[in-house]
Amino acid sequence: MPQNNQESAGHEDIFPHQLTEIGKKYVDAAMNVQIGLLDELRQANAELIASAQSRLALASDLYAKLMAARSLPDAAAACQEWTQQRADLLAEDGRHALIHSQKLLEAGTRFFSNGSSNGTM
């Protein structure tokens, strides 16, 4: 009987330490994922701000061209040019949104699939 008490006492000493280490690994992994997600969101935010500034500059340019237009064909040409440039900006915004969404989903999938952002746990 005393031998069983000694064995269980030994396991009690090791178990909290192991549990602490496992908990620390999961907390570290979660923090790393959160840092990665925040960095990705910061980058996406910066690109959205740049895109908004590009749209504003494009609208301002259209306004200036429409004000300077001396004929209906000049105004139509300015509108066509604006439409093409706006379509290009929308396509670029879509590409950026897809890339950022994919990176965010990959980070979440890695974390939830094995509890780690780098697969080491």
How many other CB atoms sit within 10 Å of the CB of residue 52?
Answer: 11
Does residue 105 lie in a domain region? yes
Asked whether residue 50 carries a pLDDT value surpassing 90, the answer given is yes
121 in a structural domain: no
Q: Is the pLDDT of residue 5 over 80?
A: no
- Numbers of helices and strands, H then E, in the chain: 2, 0
Is there a domain that residue 42 lies in? Answer: yes
In a domain, 82, yes or no: yes
37 domain-assigned:
yes
Give me the chain's average pLDDT, please.
83
pLDDT value of residue 74: 96
Task: Answer for the pair 29, 121: CB distance below 8 angstroms, yes or no.
Answer: yes
* Reported pTM: 0.66
What would the pLDDT profile of 51-63 be if each residue is shown by its tens digit? Answer: 999 999 999 999 9
Query: Are 55 and 88 within 8 A, CB to CB?
Result: no
Count of domains forming the chain: 1
* Cα separation, 3 vs 14, whole angstroms: 17
What is the extent of the structural domain holding 17?
2-114
On the question of pLDDT at 11 being above 70, the answer is no
Q: Is the pLDDT of residue 69 over 90?
A: yes
- 29: number of Cβ within 10 Å: 20
Over residues 17-44, the pLDDT tens digits come to 788 888 888 888 888 888 888 888 899 9
In whole angstroms, what is the distance from residue 95 CA to residue 99 CA?
Answer: 6
107 within domain boundaries: yes
Predicted pLDDT at 121: 44
C-alpha 23/C-alpha 106 separation (Å) is 23
Does residue 93 lie within any of the structural domains? Answer: yes
Query: Does residue 86 lie within any of the structural domains?
Result: yes
Is the pLDDT assigned to residue 6 strictly greater than 70?
A: no
